[in-house]
Amino acid sequence: MTLALKKSRKAGTEDLIVWVMKRTKSTKNGNRCYSYWMAFWRVSDKVHNMHLGQCIKLDAEAAMVKARKPRQRS
């Protein structure tokens, strides 16, 4: 699932993309699959990546709100 916030490049703003990363970890009882919310955005040529939290604890709206906060500072 990918949520994208597209804004006008003419205004000098960049794209913010929130997506789900799935990671499989092996344990003594077998493999476990975990899902995490991730975000990335560009400022000029620099890419910023951010881990937002587990999908169990955050829904899509909360992940988007959490991703916007540090982006406003950069």
> Which CATH number does the domain housing residue 21 bear?
3.30.160
Counting the structural domains of the chain, the total is 1
User: Contact at 8 Å (CB) between 43 and 59?
Assistant: no
Which amino acid belongs to residue 9? R
pLDDT of the residue at 10: 39
pLDDT per residue over 10-38, tens digit each?
334 458 899 999 999 999 999 999 999 99
When pLDDT is cut at 50, 70 and 90, the band that residue 9 belongs to is: very low
- Domain span at residue 37 reads 2-73
pLDDT per residue over 45-67, tens digit each?
888 899 999 999 999 999 999 99
User: Contact at 8 Å (CB) between 55 and 66?
Assistant: no
